[in-house]
Amino acid sequence: MANYIRFDWAMKRLLRNKANHVVLEGFMSVLLKRQIKIKTMLESEGNQENDTQKFNRVDMLAEAENGELYLFEIQNSYEIDYFHRMLFGTSKVITDYLGKGEPYSKIKKVYSVNIVYFSIGQGDGYAYYGNTKFVNMNDSTDYLQLTAAQKEAFGISEVHDIFPEYFIFKVNNFNDYAKSSLQEWISFLKTGEIPDTFTAQGLDEARKILDYDKLDKEARQDYNRYLDTLHFNASVIDSNWREGHIAGRAEGRAEGRAEGRAEGRAEEKLAIARKMLADGMPIDLVAKYSGLTEDEIVPSH
């Protein structure tokens, strides 16, 4: 089987070239279930990031011929605020690409495609989708709809067609046999392999474009450095987690032993106090000498 390069590095070096747009066009066509044609690649937030961030994540913004914007995010390392990052990304794209003085109706449709190699949120699935709908607070079956005039003016049929739509692929959770075109893409994103049986749109071109053996010497060196950095970052994260986990367990055991001894002394003190009370000593004296409160010795309830 051929040795294919990682999709995130390919987005950095190869897929931005117009001749290679066919790969992303295939992926988006499979995802949106309609034919997508990419017009150009636009400036994205990743161009302002430092070297460390660029090894942890990749982003790319594409404009389709119909004016839609596709924001691709590939994240390798855990970020607790990644959901917020998704929101920021789409918001920034919307504001950056609305011309000054243009009406809001000219806001471009944005699709946010997030490929993550870590556990984000709670959920056992590998593919998640989200959009914006407005639901009647008194009738959950009633959704706010566009008027006929709005549909004609905007060229869309649903309110959610205006707002950004989000896809999250937790590729590490994919363990199924690929039965659909989208599953073939998810399998490739996870394993880096494209079996001969895979026929999803864009994957045949990926076989040719992403073949490691077809890279020139400079590109191979750059790719190998990229892999080394990913391995190093993963090792650092794993080491920090293990050290923190072991230290946490040791600290927890120590705290547990201390708490256990304290609880034992408190129970012993209470037992003695109640014996003193049973022998007829006034409760105020029992409280004075035991250091306990009257309520602790004899609960009022």
- pLDDT tens per residue, range 167-184: 999 999 999 899 999 999
Question: In terms of domains, do 266 and 198 share one?
Answer: no
The residue among 157, 181, 215 that closes a domain is 215
Task: Give the separation between CA 7 and CA 191, rounded to whole angstroms.
Answer: 10
Question: In terms of domains, do 280 and 211 share one?
Answer: no
Task: Give the separation between CA 259 and CA 70, rounded to whole angstroms.
Answer: 55
Question: In terms of domains, do 209 and 243 share one?
Answer: no
Domain count, the chain: 2
Report yes or no on 231 lying in a domain: no
Report yes or no on 227 lying in a domain: no
Question: In terms of domains, do 141 and 54 share one?
Answer: yes
Question: In terms of domains, do 205 and 246 share one?
Answer: no
- Which tokens is 21 given? 């747009």
User: Tokens 């547990």 sit at which residue?
Assistant: 256
User: Tokens 């119909």 sit at which residue?
Assistant: 66
Report yes or no on 33 lying in a domain: yes
Question: In terms of domains, do 245 and 179 share one?
Answer: no
DSSP string, 144-196: ----HHHHHHHT-SSGGGTS-EEEEEEGGG--S---SHHHHHHHHHHH----T
pLDDT of residue 297: 74
pTM equals: 0.74
The residue among 215, 249, 275 that closes a domain is 215
Q: Which of 66, 102, 115, 94 is nearest to 162 (CA)?
A: 94
Burial of 113 (0-12, 13-18, 19+ CB in 10 A): buried
Residue 44 has pLDDT above 70, yes or no: no
Residue 53 has pLDDT above 50, yes or no: no
Q: Which domain holds residue 87?
A: 7-215
Question: In terms of domains, do 194 and 268 share one?
Answer: no
Question: In terms of domains, do 62 and 197 share one?
Answer: yes
Decide if 42 contacts 63 (C-beta within 8 A).
yes
Decide if 127 contacts 186 (C-beta within 8 A).
yes
Residue 77 has pLDDT above 90, yes or no: no
Question: In terms of domains, do 186 and 272 share one?
Answer: no
Question: In terms of domains, do 205 and 251 share one?
Answer: no
Type of residue found at 133: K
Q: What percent of the chain is modeled with pLDDT above 70? A: 81
pLDDT of residue 48: 45
Chain mean pLDDT for the chain = 85
Helix (H, G, I), strand (E, B) or coil at 127: strand
Question: In terms of domains, do 190 and 276 share one?
Answer: no
Tell how strand 135-136 and strand 69-75 pair up. unpaired
Residue 117 CB: number of other CB atoms within 10 A? 21
The residue among 183, 215, 247 that closes a domain is 215
Report yes or no on 220 lying in a domain: no
